[in-house]
Structure 1
Amino acid sequence: MYGTAVLHEPCAEVTAFDDDLKQLVADMFESMDWAEGVGLAANQIGVGLRVFVYDCPDAEGVHHVGVVVNPVVEVPDDAPLDEDTEGCLSVPREFSPLARPARATVTGQDLNGKSIRVEGTGLLARCLQHETDHLNGIVYVDKLTPERRQEVMADHAARIAAGELPEWSAGAHT
């Protein structure tokens, strides 16, 4: 949950493409599915490694599922901004408008260490940027205006106090 130290510092590069990494990714997909998310970074489950998984559609409704290890995000200079509502499993049930480039590309590696490139539009572009931000120690609320961030975090604190967080987050908040 937001406030946990591992969410607020850059993650370490993955150097071992082994069974432990494959198990981590399997656990991440299971956690993401259980929480009904569209993306999940390793540090969101307490592992400070540069890995994220995703399962979401692009702007045309084509569904994409995958994993990126050691991602680097690129956005074209001419990409229009897409102001849409964004949320995060680390700040459950809180959403806020956030402008992000409508197109993004992530380069990195697959589970075997081979180079990959994932291009996205719409929700997929947002997800690629959001998850890479996580691995750089940035949570989406950190990108909001100070006033909006304060509102979202106050609502989040009220949900914690009232015990209104989803079952999967129970006991995880700080």
Structure 2
Amino acid sequence: MPADLELNLTLYPSPFLRRVAPVVKTFDEGLKNTVTNMLEVMYKNGGVGLAAPQVGLDLRLLVINETGDREKTEGELVLVNPTITSRKGENTLHEEGCLSFPDIYAEVSRPDACTVKAQDVTGAALNLELTGFLSRIVQHELDHLEGILLVDRMSAGDKLRNRAALQELVDTYKQGL
């Protein structure tokens, strides 16, 4: 992918968001450029995490910075081909948002901790024990790689509360077809 290719957010209800992302097999400059571009989109849109399908890329790749601050690059985490090998702790409810669902929030139940096996942008193996907010972000972004969306995790009450905003996204999507 060229470094100057501009990525745009893919919004609900695009069917692309429902695809299971395939494994990344090539670790090269193109992948590094993709990561740079994804981080830019994440920061530009005020996010703390972004999965490749959210910018129309069919890759098992996600970028995270739990601070959401582009100046704090030490907080950046790039996970290629991530999988959760275990989930631990109590399930807790916390409000989540999603860049593919602008201005929509829902209470989502997730385990407090998880273990993730992945690769970095060079292909080196990573094994991470994650807790707290970072664990929640990774679990949310990994959902995207499996075609699972925020709306799938919403309670009936959250769906009702967000009904108008969800319908607006559907209507906007249909107008673009």
TM-score, with length taken from structure 1: 0.82
Give the counterpart of 2:137 among 116, 127, 130: 127
- Indicate the SS of the match to 2:143: helix
Question: Once the 2 structures are TM-superposed, how far is the Cα of residue 65 of structure 1 from its aligned partner?
Answer: 1.7
Runs of 4+ in 1 over 3 A off after TM superposition: 157-163
> Does the C-alpha gap of structure 1 residues 16 and 161 become closer, same or farther in structure 2, counting only changes over 3 Å?
closer
CA distance in 1: counterparts of 2:14 and 2:169, whole angstroms: 15
Corresponding residue for 2:93?
83
Q: Which sections of structure 2, spanning at least 5 residues, go unmatched? A: 1-10, 68-73
Give the counterpart of 2:76 among 62, 65, 81: 65
CA distance in 1: counterparts of 2:110 and 2:148, whole angstroms: 14
Amino acid at match of 1:120: L
What is the RMSD of the two structures over their aligned residues, measured on CA atoms?
2.5
Q: Which sections of structure 1, spanning at least 5 residues, go unmatched? A: 58-62, 164-172
Give the counterpart of 2:47 among 19, 37, 40: 37
> Does the C-alpha gap of structure 1 residues 9 and 153 become closer, same or farther in structure 2, counting only changes over 3 Å?
farther
> Does the C-alpha gap of structure 1 residues 161 and 101 become closer, same or farther in structure 2, counting only changes over 3 Å?
closer
TM-score, with length taken from structure 2: 0.81
Q: Does 1:154 align with 2:166?
A: no
- Identity of counterpart residues, as a percentage? 34
CA distance in 2: counterparts of 1:162 and 1:49, whole angstroms: 27
Q: Which moved more, 1:121-130 or 1:136-145?
A: 136-145
